[in-house]
Amino acid sequence: MPGTEMTIFLAGIIQGSLPDAIESQDYREPILAALQETFPEADLYDPIAEYPDSLSFDDAKARSVFLDLMKRAAEADLLVAYVPSASMGTAIEIWEAYHAGKPVVVIGPLKLNWVIRFCADHTCENIDDFVEFAKGGGLKQLVKDKAERCMQ
């Protein structure tokens, strides 16, 4: 996408199935680093960086943030989702990007999960596989191919 700024949405498990806590967010740094290296011109959007205290939001703020995140997922040029286990919010973000015709890459072992199976353009088993995919040119090629298919 020469001459235009690309937006990448980093989706991923935040609360998961924990009733009142947040899962470890250690996965974000290596994924963001690989994205920055691959697409140095991109605007990387990381919801946890924007809203680190999201569990403390009242209903009105939480609803507003949730709806805004879903809109951002659909508008991004690429969605990369870390899904080591089921995540309802991440599934909706994946769906929104897929439904908007945007490329979706999922990192995690749930290849038979229907959201991932039918909505992801590419899956990587783990973060190391994703970094290798990005460094090897696969991620750039996937974005280029998806953009060309959408223009036809």
Q: What is the CATH number of the domain that holds 80?
A: 3.40.50.450
CB atoms within 10 A of CB 33: 13
- Cα–chain center distance at 12: 6
Number of domains the chain contains: 1
CA distance 40 to 57: 33
pLDDT at 20 over 90: no
Q: Please report whether residue 124 resides in a domain.
A: yes
**Can you give the pLDDT at residue 23?**
80
Q: Please report whether residue 137 resides in a domain.
A: yes
CA distance 86 to 13: 8
pLDDT band at 2 (very low <50, low <70, confident <90, very high): very low
**Can you give the pLDDT at residue 21?**
76
**Can you give the pLDDT at residue 59?**
95
Closest CA to 46 of 111, 93, 99, 102: 93
**Can you give the pLDDT at residue 152?**
66
What's the whole-number mean pLDDT along residues 126-131?
A: 98
Taking each helix axis from N to C terminus, what angle separates 127-135 and 28-38, rounded to the nearest 10 degrees? Answer: 10
Q: Please report whether residue 1 resides in a domain.
A: no
Residue pointed to by tokens 């989702």: 81
Sheet with 78-82, side-by-side order of all strands: 43-45, 7-12, 78-82, 104-107, 122-124
Q: Please report whether residue 17 resides in a domain.
A: yes
Q: Please report whether residue 54 resides in a domain.
A: yes
Of residues 51 and 128, the one with the higher pLDDT is 128
Q: Please report whether residue 123 resides in a domain.
A: yes
Lowest mean pLDDT across 46-50, 69-73, 79-83, 147-151: 147-151
Single-letter code of the amino acid located at 76: A
Of residues 18 and 137, the one with the higher pLDDT is 137
Q: Please report whether residue 71 resides in a domain.
A: yes
What's the whole-number mean pLDDT along residues 94-117?
A: 96
pLDDT at 16 over 80: no
- In this prediction the pTM is 0.93
Which residues make beta-bridge pairs with 9? 45, 79
Q: Please report whether residue 2 resides in a domain.
A: no
What kind and span of H or E run contains 10?
strand 7-12
Q: Which domain holds residue 120?
A: 7-151
